[in-house]
Amino acid sequence: MNPDVPYMMSVKNLTAILDKIQNAGAPDAFGLDFLKDLGFTSSNDRGVIKLLKYLGLLDAASKPQASYREFMDHTKAKAVLAARLREAYDDLFVSDKDAHTRTSEKLKGWFKTKTGVGDAVAKKMATTFKALASYADFSAAPPLKKPVLQPPAPDDKGVGGNSRLKPPLTLETGLGLTYRIEIHLPDTTNVDTYRSIFKALRDELLS
């Protein structure tokens, strides 16, 4: 998870903004002008642009991605948002698979510990996440799966060496049992998500 967690100064209009996105066409770029066209001119609402980027709905240039267009579908929107939340806040859901049901106060403590920010900012991170989670439908989104790791293969000296991750991996034992291990990487443009996964794999394999 990218520790630079975005937040909104106020989540008062967040639900309304999400509703408006579904009713409007996809812009060439989602900037302040488009936000104003949707009817939101308050400076408190500007943080939604960075938030949509963090969720992978927009790219770095604010251009709508495939997930943005999926979110525009009223029948899929809430499930799409739940899936994007699980990926963007993957560390949070790994630590607590039911994070979306926790109170803002409890979430504040987690964000404060994870990011090192003070109480005021951690509270805004928590209330922003909680507002998004309350809008999303997690019953329709698959839970985040923690990768199952294979021990490092021994080298020619019988000492654990470097492992190459080639999903799916198959490990055969002398008992004739076969263990099939698959590692599913999330479909995200957030490079830090992949770095966190590979770091966790490396630490586990070398421990």
What pLDDT was estimated at residue 3?
80
The answer to whether 108 and 119 have CB atoms below 8 angstroms apart is yes
According to DSSP, residue 44 is labeled G
The DSSP bridge partners found for residue 160 are 154
According to DSSP, residue 64 is labeled B
What pLDDT was estimated at residue 185?
66
- Phi/psi of residue 172, nearest 5 degrees: -105, 135
Beta-carbon contacts of 184 under 8 Å, excluding residues fewer than 6 positions away, are 145, 147, 167
What pLDDT was estimated at residue 171?
38
Distance CA 200, CA 185 (A): 13
pLDDT in tens, the chain (207 residues): 888 999 999 999 999 999 999 999 999 999 999 999 999 999 999 999 999 999 999 999 999 999 999 999 999 999 999 999 999 999 999 999 999 999 999 999 999 999 999 999 999 999 999 999 999 999 865 555 554 444 554 554 444 444 444 444 443 444 444 445 556 666 666 667 767 777 777 666 665
The DSSP bridge partners found for residue 48 are none
Q: Which residue has tokens 């479909």?
A: 187
pTM: 0.68
What pLDDT was estimated at residue 179?
45
What pLDDT was estimated at residue 55?
97
